[in-house]
Amino acid sequence: MELSTVLFLLLGILGFGMGAFFDKVSLRHMDPAGAFYVRVLFTIVLFLPLVLWKYAQTRQALLGSDRLGPIFVVSSVVVSMGGVFFFLKALSGGAATRIVPLSSTYPFVTFVMAVLFLGESITLNKMIGTLLLSGGIYFISK
């Protein structure tokens, strides 16, 4: 893996980890539905200027893709935001040290779907890694 890929991965992990922490803290001050809608509002307010600034690039991405590209992007947004909503509901009712690791099993859904629908391979290393991750998540959630 390239160094830049590793750096981006680490930054993504840091962002997801800190995001879940701030989610849990915010739920001490508002209900999960309220936190979800405030998140959506702030996402629009914070990222609309970026989209407008990069309008030409955004427009080119839309016009340069086939018809299915935007459909899959919208699908990703809808199911991801649904996941965030249900994650906040679960996080409001349980300990962050339990809910966050258990919610981190979502890569298994991606793994299965990639194998079934994208034709990605199942290798011994992937199977061993999946078992080790499952074991780790099991022990963390106990």
Task: Identify the CA nearest to 34 among candidates 85, 75, 72, 77.
Answer: 85
Q: What angle do CA 105, 84, 109 make, to 5 degrees?
A: 30
DSSP class of residue 123?
-
Tens of pLDDT, residue by residue over 86-113, are 999 999 999 998 888 888 888 888 888 9
Q: How far apart are CA 7 and CA 12, in angstroms?
A: 9
| Backbone phi, psi, residue 76, to 5° | -60, -45
Whole-number Å distance between alpha carbons of 60 and 105: 35
pLDDT band, residue 131 (cuts 50/70/90): confident
pLDDT tens digits along 20-35:
999 999 999 999 999 9
